[in-house]
Structures are given as C-alpha cells and as structure tokens.
Structure 1
C-alpha cells in the first residue's frame, strides 16, 4: 500500500486511498504536470508474481485504452515502477450506481431511462471495438456529481480478436448479473452483456436484484431455470413497454435477446411514450431450448440398472401347422419358466452398488485450494468461502498499519493450501491502525507537544490566535479533544497556539460614523470613548479627531478617544453701542514771512470770530461693515461726541477707526 504524498513516476502525487479490491488498490492522486486530480489503480504487491492476475490487469489497460467515449472512464497512462504495475485513469468524483440506487430510490422513470441510455451508449461503443465487458454491474458504473454515468473496470473484458484468452469453462463476472450461458461455463458474447444490462435496469426500477440465494451456485442456477420476476408485480405503475425491455434483454436464449445494444437503446428510448401504453407483455418463444440437459454417466447407469429389460414372451413356432379347430387344438403352451430368486437379488444388488458408487462420487468431499481472502471484508470473505464450499471458523482481530479496518489480514490455513470441502477457515481481521489516545494539551508549550505527537507519526497542524490570557507559544485549543483516539499516519491533530495580545496598527478614522468606529473597535478588541465638538469643516456625526493617532501600534483592550463633529457652532448676534468724543483742533499759525504775518494778522482777527473746521472720517468693522469702507464723514468746529453702533456674532469682536484731517486719532477694538 502506497503512503500519502508518495510521488509515483515523478508525476502523480498520492493523496489518499479510494478503495481496495481483490486485484488492485485505487488511489486519488494529483497530476503535478497537468495540475488535475486522477485515479491511480495499482496492482497489489502480493499479486505481482501471479501471472493470471497480471494478465487480467494488463487486459484491462489494453481494453480500456482502445476506447474513447464520454461514458467510459478514460485511461490516461500505464506504467510500472519498482515492480508496481499501475494504470492512471480519469478521476470521477461521485459514487457507484449501486450506492446511487440505495440513496435515491425510487428513481423517476425518466431519470432511469436517461442514465440507462448513457450506459447503453458506452457498451455499444465497446462492442463496436470488439470488446465484451463480461462484468457489467452497478458497482462498475460510476455516477459523477452532475449525474453523468461512466463505465469502468474492464478487468475481465474479452477482446474478440484475442485468441490467446481462454473464454470457456470458467465462471467470470458477478453472479447476480451473470447470463445463463456464462453460468453454464460457456463463452460470453455481446448478448451476455445485454443480459447483464437487463438485470441492471431491473435493479434501478425495483431497488434489488431479481435472484437471490444462499450461494453463488444457487443464484447461477436460478438465472437459467427461473423466470424473470415481473417488475410490474413490484410496481404496477411501470409501463409495460419498459418492462418488456427487461424481459427481452434477459431472455434465457441469447438468440431471443436484442441483436445489439443499439437495438436495446432504440427500444428503451420510446418505452415511456404514450403511444406504447397498450403494448402487450413480451414472451419468449419456448419452442427453442437453450441447451440439452446434460446427464451424468453414473446417474444414467444407476437408472438403467434399476429397470432391467425382461425376456420376450415365448415365440410362436415358425414351422407349426395351421390351427386346428378349437376342439382339436394342441395342448396349451407351457408356462414361462420363473426366474430364480437369486437372479433378481443379484440384479437389485448390482443396481444398489451402482447407486452407492454414484452417490459416493457425487457427495465425496473434493480437494479445494484456500482462496485469497486478504483485503476482503468479513462479509465478502464469508461469501467467497461459501462459493468454495468452505466455512468461517473463528475470527480474531489485530491491529494493522496496512490493512483497512474490517478487512481480512490473513486466513488460517493460508491462501493456496489444499484442504477438503466443508472445512473451516479461521480469519484474522484488521482492527485498523493502532490508535493513540490524546492528552490534555491546553496550556502546554506547542513545541513540546508537537514533537511528542510527531514521534507517534501523528500529523500536527498549527493555527494561531491572539489571546490576552494565554502566553505566546502556549496551546489555547486542540482538536480532537483530550481523551479521543487518533490513528497514526492517518489522522491530524490541530493545535491552536497563542500569539499573545493582538497587535493593531490604528486605522485613520477620519470621517467614520459612530457605528463604523464601534464596529472597528469590536472587531479588533479595542475600547472606545466618544466625545463631541463643533467643527466648521467636518459634517455633523463624523469623526473630527482620534487619540492615539492613526498609524499608532496598540494591543487589544487599548482605549481610544474619538471626537465626533456636532457641525458648526451656532451663532448669537449682539448689538453694541460705543460713545466716542472727538476733540476739535484748530489749525496751526504760519509765520514764515512778514507778508504772511500781515495776512495772518488780518485773518486772525477774522478767525477769532469764525473757527476753521476739522474734517472727520469714521470707519467701523462688525457683522455688517468693513474697515475698508467709510462709515461716516463730517466736519467739526468744536469737540463733538458721537455714538457708534456695532452688530457682532457671539464670540466675535468689532473695530472702529477715526481720522481728523487725514490723521488717525482713534483705532480701537470693541468687545461685547
């Protein structure tokens, strides 16, 4: 048996075992060149020196490689490595038809017909290439996940052009689906496959095979003696036309079956048509017998001895005269002489002796070889022993790293030993691989536990998680739990290891909503405190600021403070009045010249009665005015008081500026 992850032919990576058979094991593998899954069938190592098994294995490869059909499993590669012969096949993900019937029964009639048409198409393709399957049964028909059907296992297929293969005097194929002629040991023909197809169709409609028995021999006899049970007796809703397909396919005489699989497919295609609703039941022509009954010579001799021929009556005298009148007739004939008692006794004794000899030879226990039971289930081994007229004795169980649980490891006596029919065979059945009971590893150091488990050939898978309570490097969880038993070489133990507190690089939360911030905090195990503030630039309800800042590295449980915007701060208008006194300033005297003095003297006398006015300009800044615009302009000839009104928003201030004859005499800020 190949181990998982083994690389076959430097190409096919073995993933796991799909199934074990009497001749070969089948593995799921990955083609590392074409990057696809494939099925690899490997001849069992204990059979690699068995010439007949090798021929059968090679025949399967030869037969299937010649076929290219969507409903036949494709052969992709054939080879040998280290004495292992292998076939690489298309991998069909699904189940065999036997399991499909059990799981989906009852199957709708149209679905049965559709699946059967795919099977018939595949068999017709094989027949067209001169290949007879000889072992058609639901176990050799795969159904993928989309419901497509594919035929496999051409291990006992016969290639009609291959004259080196002995085709007679051997019982090949599964007895529940075996044609009468094969059961008699005759050569399989295309009609033999058609018979098996009829049995498969019967099982798809009823959920069971038509003939059962205590042994393979009793079932085989029923195939050529018993009438095919009626499908309509099981399910009266089955159209007669559909039952007729089964009856014609399973006729005892091959000549009365369908001539070809194509003919059967054509008939099946219209079997659900309303036009055939009144079709009568098909009956075979009984005027022909399948074969003369063979009579064993010993039985014939015994029958002849039991019924000996008696002596003829006394003969008349050929030379006698004509009969005289009644009165003158000659004396009556002498009575036939009675045989002595010892004569009859000797005849009876001889007959009895012949019968006893016949019975002895018919009932005497024959020598048989112990069949190869290794790899079979206990049920399969029991059936195989019954077929060989042997019985199961004691069943012992022991652990095995190579034989699956429930399968036979070996028999006692061993395979190939010659014993008498009826003898007892003891079996040693696998318990599977010896298990390893897991301990409680939570809180232990991962490195120590992993090393211990790997020493037991247990696969260890490590996963990480953050924890505020468990120190980094320690185990937080384990699967399976403590106390469970795992199988070395097969099972995996998953250990979740602490990284300590989770390290988080804070995201920039600007413009997040309160809910988005809370979701982020919950996801990362952070605590969050919300505050509010006014902002003229950030929309109300969105984040204005955060502490710590974005990009800061923190651990889980860290508290972050987030300020959410309330929008712009609402304003309140205030009216202010400021009283300002403006002083008058007379113009200065000019005494630069005498003429000017005279003029001034004259003017002074005149001014003394009329003052020269000052030019006043006032600027204000508030909610409604700007310092760049003149608020008021006038002249004064004396000190003058003015009131300046201001309108300001809350938190704002006002301002005013006054010039006199172009000179700034006041420049003040006014607060509410």
Structure 2
C-alpha cells in the first residue's frame, strides 16, 4: 500500500498501549521510516501532543519527526506522524552492569532529556521501554504521547508507569508538575537498567526516597559525586532535584576523565596540563599561579600577588574554566595570558 504517494508499507507493524506503528519505505529519500497513528478509542490529543513536542526538538538523542500524513482507517481518514526509523533495541530492565558502557548510556539519556527540557517540553513517560539504542550505540528517547509543554503541565488523573512516577503525581486532585518529574523518572531508570528489584520505598504508592546507603549499594564503583546526584533525582521535594543539564555535565565530566588538555603560553614558553603533566606553575613576576589537573577539573592550588581569571580575583581552590584570560598584576605592568582547553567529546 502507498501512503501520501510516498510511503510504501512494509510487511511488519507493531502495537503499543495507545498507538500502532507501520513500518514503511520512504520512496523519495529511499530510507525506512515509521508511521504512527492512534488505536481506536484513544484520545486524539495524544498524537497532537507528540507532534507538537517532536516538531520543537532537534536532538541526536531524540527520535525525529519527519512528516505528518493522513491514512485510511475504519472507513475514515485519520492523522499519522512519520518518524525516524531506529534500527536497534529497546533498553531492557536489568540488562546492564555498572561499567563505562552503563555510564555512557545514562549520559546519552541525560543529553536527550536536557535537549527536551531546553525546548520547554516535559516527556512525562521516561522509562527503559521508551528508550532505544541503535546499531551504532546511539541512545534515542521515543514515545512522546504523554508529553506536555511547561505552560500546560497539569493533570487530573494518574497517568504513566507507576514505579517511574514522581511522588507529586499521586494526588487525587488537579496536579501541576514540571520537568522535575522527568528527572525523577530518570533516576529510577538508572536503577532499573541495573536491577528488576529496586528498593521497596520506590515501589510504595506514593513512593518515597530510599536511603542513600540502599541506593549506593546498587551502584558499586560509581564515583560518589555521581551517586549522590542520581540519589537527589529521587528527592521527595521536586525543588531538591537537579536539572538534567547539571546531570549531563557531571556525567560528561567523569566520562572524559584524564582526556582534557590545557595549554598556557607565558613568556614565550608553552605549558601543557594533561594526564601526563598534572601541574604547572606560572610566574609572571607581578604574580604567580599554580594549577593542577586531577583528571576532572583544573584547580588553582597556589596563588601569590594580584592574579585574575576573566577579571575576577583568584583564590586557592578556584576552578579554571575551559577558555579564559589570566591576568597577572595591576595597572600598566599587567600581563595577559590565555588558558585554552581542548574539547574532547564523549562518543557516540
């Protein structure tokens, strides 16, 4: 069958809780795509919400919306959305161990969620079953049928997958919510990828935050900075949960451990900071500065005289940003030095 004079249906299709997907070939661009339409009796708003959300978001880690068409169903025309085909597998509960691959996957999920939230969208149904990993190892968030914009974030009924639903969603009245419900679901997802038996407190209705000890026991070997932040995702008070951007940056920092390189040129001499040379001392006569690299950040460990980073006075313990100007001294005798850090990328 040919749809919209462009999409040739293939032999396979799939049904979910609310929608049906039809696998097709895009004859114009010669690629496989997915057509998604709602099953009979499902509120039409679900597809509209998904369309609105996906039309705003462009992210490597979010399924892409290509087109909107009408298809014949039950003797009537009904709308369908044309989505990116993801050649891969749904993430499975309990299918990961704590290792670098696991940290890379949850980092990619955080990237997708940070992009979604930056466009004012709340996914509202984050869980392993709504996340795929393609044949190249790229994670994609899918299924925006429950999504909302920040300006329309309220509900009168409990909708979602229970264990991934934040405590505030369990009320019996009209409930306003924000992107922190996705942060909560992300925290549960991080555990679900490791085990099918999460702490009992997360299975109560409404759920409560487990103890840090119980939570940490499921993440052996994970740096405490990451464990503590993921633990905060499950905070009962949504105001205590970190943003997805904060989580993304933290995971990225640890995934890039010992991969940064900084270069500083002073008095014609190039000074390099990396995993082989972790400490440099800069002496500009009118001031001096020692910077050390611990594999994660570049930190000031000694300073004498008047020294500034981007016009802000430097103190011991200050983190040197990735690209900045170091100023030594005051008045006419000042010396200006650039501090440049290479920008390694987490792959994929």
- Give TM-score scaled by structure 1 length: 0.35
Separation in structure 2 between the aligned mates of residue 7 and residue 229 of structure 1, nearest angstrom: 57
Paired residue for 1:179, among 149, 152, 166?
166
Deviation per residue, 1:231-267 (Å, 9 max, x gap)? 4424543333332122111111111111x21112222
Is the counterpart of residue 142 in structure 1 residue 137 in structure 2?
no
The verdict on how the C-alpha distance between 1:276 and 1:223 changes in structure 2, with shifts beyond 3 A counting, is farther
Is the counterpart of residue 86 in structure 1 residue 87 in structure 2?
no
Alignment of 1:241-640 (within 5 A): 241-258=225-242, 260-271=243-254
Determine if contact 2:199/2:214 at 8 Å carries over to the other structure: no
Aligned-residue offset at 1:269? 3.0
Q: Looking at CA atoms only, which structure, 1 or 2, has the larger radius of gyration? A: 1
The verdict on how the C-alpha distance between 1:234 and 1:114 changes in structure 2, with shifts beyond 3 A counting, is closer
Q: Give SS of 1:224's match.
A: coil
Deviation per residue, 1:16-53 (Å, 9 max, x gap)? 33421121111211011211100111222x22xx5xx1
Separation in structure 1 between the aligned mates of residue 209 and residue 110 of structure 2, nearest angstrom: 26
Deviation per residue, 1:350-380 (Å, 9 max, x gap)? xxxxxxxxxxxxxxxxxxxxxxxxxxxxxxx
Determine if contact 1:202/1:246 at 8 Å carries over to the other structure: no
Alignment of 1:639-654 (within 5 A): none
Is the counterpart of residue 239 in structure 1 residue 223 in structure 2?
yes
Structure 1 unaligned spans of 5+: 1-5, 278-672
Determine if contact 2:191/2:218 at 8 Å carries over to the other structure: no
Aligned-residue offset at 1:11? 1.4
Structure 2 unaligned spans of 5+: 259-293, 297-348
- Give TM-score scaled by structure 2 length: 0.66
The verdict on how the C-alpha distance between 1:271 and 1:230 changes in structure 2, with shifts beyond 3 A counting, is farther
With a CA cutoff of 8 Å and minimum separation of 6, indicate the structure with the bigger relative contact order.
Answer: 2
Q: Give SS of 1:98's match.
A: coil
Structure having the larger proportion of residues in strand: 2
Please tell me the root mean square deviation across aligned C-alpha atoms, in Å: 2.6
The answer for the alignment partner of 2:46 in structure 1 is 56
Determine if contact 2:91/2:131 at 8 Å carries over to the other structure: yes
Determine if contact 2:37/2:47 at 8 Å carries over to the other structure: no
Deviation per residue, 1:382-403 (Å, 9 max, x gap)? xxxxxxxxxxxxxxxxxxxxxx
Determine if contact 1:119/1:149 at 8 Å carries over to the other structure: yes
The verdict on how the C-alpha distance between 1:161 and 1:69 changes in structure 2, with shifts beyond 3 A counting, is same
Q: Give SS of 1:127's match.
A: helix
Deviation per residue, 1:531-551 (Å, 9 max, x gap)? xxxxxxxxxxxxxxxxxxxxx
Separation in structure 2 between the aligned mates of residue 229 and residue 89 of structure 1, nearest angstrom: 42
Aligned-residue offset at 1:153? 0.7
Paired residue for 1:154, among 141, 144, 147?
144
Is the counterpart of residue 9 in structure 1 residue 4 in structure 2?
yes
The answer for the alignment partner of 1:28 in structure 2 is 23
Paired residue for 2:187, among 184, 187, 198?
198
Separation in structure 1 between the aligned mates of residue 177 and residue 11 of structure 2, nearest angstrom: 36
